[in-house]
């Protein structure tokens, strides 16, 4: 249960940031973009209600998430320490600041329900809602990384909270734009509002990005300091991933801004309706992943604190060095024989069999994905499309391979029975679910690509890929061998980025018209190829 | 096995690994002041963040991974923790830490050390 509690604890940070953004960013959207009190604006009730409902939802979800965070923390401590964390937990900053944050989020929820919804165009009500948010944001300062630092605490807390507000303005605004697009599609708002509000948000977005950089740069400098800390430790690595993803998100934002400018020059709505909404959807996937990565970043020890545990750039590069994939697996007996020594704390003996077993699993999985991506690329050719479009069948094969190889201590290879291992070990249960989902994903994606009218089935694959990438970036490796854990992590964070590109590419392939859809589709399967290559050359550090 | 999370998550799925929280030991006295043979001693640890000792646990791990709780008390400086070790025979040992940092992260750490007869 400790594994599940720990995993949920690391995930809930990203969920929390998402709802925080929807609530806080939604209010900023109302104050600076929508400005509902503007008498000249052509807003109808549908638009104002939708806007406020989204903020209302964000505040409600934030209350639930914040209380869940406290509950999870209690659970985590109880299962990790093997005893009740009370009454000591009541005296922690975590409990008090968390409770305060939940209380102010609840106050916002109540105010929106009782007052703002009845006074959608009242500037005073919007300002009161914003005033309620101020203590909520301040309470959050005691829940961030900087709060536990021994030096420069106030500065770090202030910078982090400002960084969060900037991120919330961007992400919350994007959610409002998606809601606006929903209304536009239903012809529920005046036609000119879509380009107008996109233009206004563009200005807010630029301010948000500037604030992200102004606050993020000193934080990065404070927590990292050296080039080796940037590339050779988990904290620096996740920051690098954040920068890469922010570059992708900014790319979409820039394309959208260009489209808005073109509209005001030519008055042609084509790009604003046939492309921009889908770029915004892809941007949303990226921004959500950034939030989950940010939550993961907050659980990493800053590079500046672990100079003795950082890897050199040569060691990092070596993890991606091309080599012949491992074709032969050690025997199951050799693997099991080495396990006791490998996991021992005192008298630890690194197990070559365990490392080779893991390498084999990674490399063969890489071959699966590389071959699949090769056929996927071929499927874009008219000549090969008829049979190459069956490439997702490979996921089914991979699912079967993983089922046999992933938990070697349990059935069918190990002595522990199927049901016993599945329901008495949280990690094995998750592996079994994951293996089943890989198999099912292959089944559904094959159907999606073969059926004449697959309905919404094709959207499952990009959503699951984005979710997978998000999860990959949201959890970090452990533990006692920090440098080794980082060298494992560095490969999978890069795979997480490619999983996101895979998702966005496929999403745009499904949404855009030609030739954009073909370009996006090809980029998507090329990302799958990259994941395959990383896995194919993978070598686990011996420990 | 460790293999699954790294593969399956890429393939759109979730699996579990323990989170590596951010309270880490930045300095310890074990290198400068080795643990003496058959004599109770005190080990000094410095963390990179404030820690909640009431919600933390420290164990001494000896051969066979036998774990015994160790008394921990706050040191004179913020982030400093003092551990009272019992008298130890020569051999390999480890200190296993489960630390609740003030920012809410529960992290585990391990410090391996040897108790050696003086030369």
Residue with the bigger pLDDT between A322 and A409: it is A322
Going by their DSSP bridges, the two strands B41-47 and B57-62 should be labelled as unpaired
- Cα distances from A142 to residues A98, A221, A523, B71, in angstroms, run 8, 21, 42, 28
Give the span between the Cα atoms of B50 and A299, in whole angstroms: 14
Q: Which of B7, B22, B109 sits opposite A145 (nearest CB)?
A: B22
**Sheet of B66-69, strand order:** B66-69, B57-62, B91-100, B106-115
Residue B4 has pLDDT above 50, yes or no: no
Neighbouring C-alpha atoms within 13 Å toward the C-beta of A497: 20
The two three-digit tokens of residue A407, written as one number: 């938990």
Q: Which of B6, B48, B55 sits opposite A85 (nearest CB)?
A: B55
Quick one: which H or E segment has residue B106?
strand B106-115
Closest CA to A233 of A318, A315, A325: A315
pLDDT score recorded for residue B19: 39
* Chain B residues closer than 8 Å to A150 by CB: 48-50, 78-79
Give the tens place of pLDDT for each residue, B76-116: 998 999 999 999 999 999 999 999 988 888 888 899 999 99
Instruction: Give A99 to chain B, closest Cα distance, Å.
Output: 13
User: Average pLDDT of A473-492?
Assistant: 74
Residue with the bigger pLDDT between A122 and A406: it is A122
pLDDT score recorded for residue A434: 76
Give the tens place of pLDDT for each residue, A423-440: 777 667 767 877 888 899
User: Average pLDDT of A508-515?
Assistant: 95
> What is the C-alpha R_g of chain B?
17
Instruction: Give B82 to chain A, closest Cα distance, Å.
Output: 17
User: Average pLDDT of A111-139?
Assistant: 97
Per DSSP, helices labelled H in A298-407 are: 313-318, 332-343, 352-378, 385-388, 393-405
CB contact under 8 A, B24 and A301: yes
Please report which confidence band the pLDDT of residue A414 belongs to, taking 50, 70 and 90 as the band edges: confident
Q: Which of B48, B106, B110 sits opposite A480 (nearest CB)?
A: B110
* Chain A residues closer than 8 Å to B15 by CB: 427, 430-431, 434
pLDDT score recorded for residue B23: 84
pLDDT score recorded for residue A32: 97
Is B32 an 8 Å CB contact of chain A?
A: no
Quick one: which H or E segment has residue B4?
helix B3-8
* Chain B residues closer than 8 Å to A435 by CB: 4, 8
Residue A542 has pLDDT above 80, yes or no: no
Please report which confidence band the pLDDT of residue B13 belongs to, taking 50, 70 and 90 as the band edges: very low
Residue A30 main-chain phi, psi, to 5 deg? -60, -45
* Chain B residues closer than 8 Å to A426 by CB: 16
Instruction: Give A270 to chain B, closest Cα distance, Å.
Output: 33
Q: Which of B14, B50, B64 sits opposite A150 (nearest CB)?
A: B50
Instruction: Give B113 to chain A, closest Cα distance, Å.
Output: 9
Residue A8 has pLDDT above 60, yes or no: yes
* Window from A7-16, A61-70, A320-329, B15-24 with minimum mean pLDDT: B15-24
Please report which confidence band the pLDDT of residue B18 belongs to, taking 50, 70 and 90 as the band edges: very low
CB contact under 8 A, B10 and A468: yes
Give the tens place of pLDDT for each residue, A274-304: 999 999 999 999 999 999 999 988 888 899 9
Strand partners, B96: B59, B110
DSSP 8-state code for residue B37: B
Please report which confidence band the pLDDT of residue B12 belongs to, taking 50, 70 and 90 as the band edges: very low
Residue A517 main-chain phi, psi, to 5 deg? -65, -35
Give the tens place of pLDDT for each residue, A29-79: 999 999 999 988 899 999 999 999 999 999 999 999 999 999 999 998 998
Mean of all residue pLDDT scores within chain A: 92
Give the tens place of pLDDT for each residue, A56-68: 999 999 999 999 9
**Which B residues 74-103 touch A at CB under 8 Å?**
78-79, 92-94, 96, 98, 100-103
Q: Are B55 and A94 in contact (CB under 8 A)?
A: no
Residue A488 has pLDDT above 80, yes or no: yes
């Amino acid at each position: 249960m400790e594994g599940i509690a720990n995993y949920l604890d690391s995930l809930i940070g990203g969920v929390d940031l998402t709802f925080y953004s929807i609530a806080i960013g939604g209010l900023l959207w109302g104050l600076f973009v929508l400005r509902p009190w503007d008498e000249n604006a052509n807003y109808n009730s549908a638009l104002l209600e939708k806007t406020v409902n989204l903020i209302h939802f964000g505040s409600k979800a934030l209350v639930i998430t914040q209380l869940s965070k406290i509950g999870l923390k209690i659970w985590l401590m109880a299962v990790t320490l093997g005893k009740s964390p009370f009454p000591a937990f009541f005296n922690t900053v975590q409990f008090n600041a968390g409770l305060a944050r939940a209380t102010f989020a609840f106050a916002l929820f109540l105010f929106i329900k009782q007052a703002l919804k009845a006074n959608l165009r009242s500037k005073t009500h919007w300002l009161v809602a914003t005033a309620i948010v101020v203590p909520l944001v301040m309470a959050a300062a005691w829940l961030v990384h900087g709060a536990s630092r021994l030096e420069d605490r106030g500065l770090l807390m202030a910078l982090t909270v400002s960084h969060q507000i900037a991120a919330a303005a961007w992400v919350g605004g994007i959610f409002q734009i998606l809601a606006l697009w929903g209304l536009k599609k239903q012809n529920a708002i005046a036609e000119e509002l879509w380009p107008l509000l996109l233009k206004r948000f563009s200005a807010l977005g630029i301010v948000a990005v500037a604030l992200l950089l102004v606050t993020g740069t000193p934080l990065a400098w404070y927590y990292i300091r050296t080039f080796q800390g940037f590339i050779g430790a988990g904290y620096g690595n996740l920051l690098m991933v954040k920068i890469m993803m922010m570059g992708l998100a900014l790319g979409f934002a820039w394309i959208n801004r260009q489209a808005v400018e073109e509209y005001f020059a030519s008055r042609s709505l084509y790009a604003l309706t046939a492309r921009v909404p889908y770029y915004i959807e892809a941007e949303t996937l990226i921004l959500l992943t950034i939030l989950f990565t940010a939550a993961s970043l907050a659980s990493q020890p800053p590079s500046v604190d672990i100079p003795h545990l950082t890897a050199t750039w040569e060691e990092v590069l070596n993890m991606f060095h091309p080599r012949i994939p491992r074709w032969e697996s050690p025997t199951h007996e050799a693997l099991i024989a080495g396990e006791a020594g490998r996991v021992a704390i005192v008298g630890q003996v690194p197990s070559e069999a365990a490392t080779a077993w893991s390498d084999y699993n990674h490399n063969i999985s890489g071959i699966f994905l590389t071959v699949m991506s090769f056929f996927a690329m071929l499927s874009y050719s008219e000549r090969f499309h008829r049979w190459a479009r069956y490439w997702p069948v490979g996921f089914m094969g991979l699912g079967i391979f993983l089922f046999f190889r992933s938990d070697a201590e349990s059935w069918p290879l190990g002595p522990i029975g199927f049901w016993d291992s599945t329901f008495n070990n949280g990690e094995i249960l998750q592996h079994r679910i994951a293996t089943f989902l890989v198999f099912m994903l292959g089944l559904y994606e094959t159907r999606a690509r073969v059926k004449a009218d697959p309905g919404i089935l094709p959207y499952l694959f990009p959503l699951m890929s984005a979710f997978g990438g998000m999860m990959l970036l949201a959890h970090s490796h452990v533990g006692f061998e920090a440098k080794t854990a980082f060298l494992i992590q560095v490969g999978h964070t890069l795979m997480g980025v490619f999983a996101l590109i895979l998702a966005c590419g496929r999403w745009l392939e499904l949404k855009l018209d030609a030739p954009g859809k073909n370009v996006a589709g090809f980029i998507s399967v090329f990302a799958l190829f990259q994941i395959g290559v990383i896995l194919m050359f993978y070598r686990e550090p011996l420990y | 096995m460790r293999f699954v999370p790294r593969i399956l998550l890429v393939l759109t799925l979730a699996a579990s690994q323990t989170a590596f929280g951010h309270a880490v030991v930045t300095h310890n006295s074990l290198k400068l002041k080795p643990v003496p043979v058959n004599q109770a001693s005190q080990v000094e640890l410095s963390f990179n963040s404030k820690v909640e000792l009431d919600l933390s646990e420290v164990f001494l791990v000896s051969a066979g991974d036998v774990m015994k709780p160790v008394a921990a008390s706050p040191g004179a400086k913020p982030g400093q923790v003092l551990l009272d070790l019992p008298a130890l025979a020569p051999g390999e040992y480890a200190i296993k830490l489960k630390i609740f940092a003030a920012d809410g992260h529960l992290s585990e750490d391990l410090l391996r050390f040897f108790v050696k007869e003086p030369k």
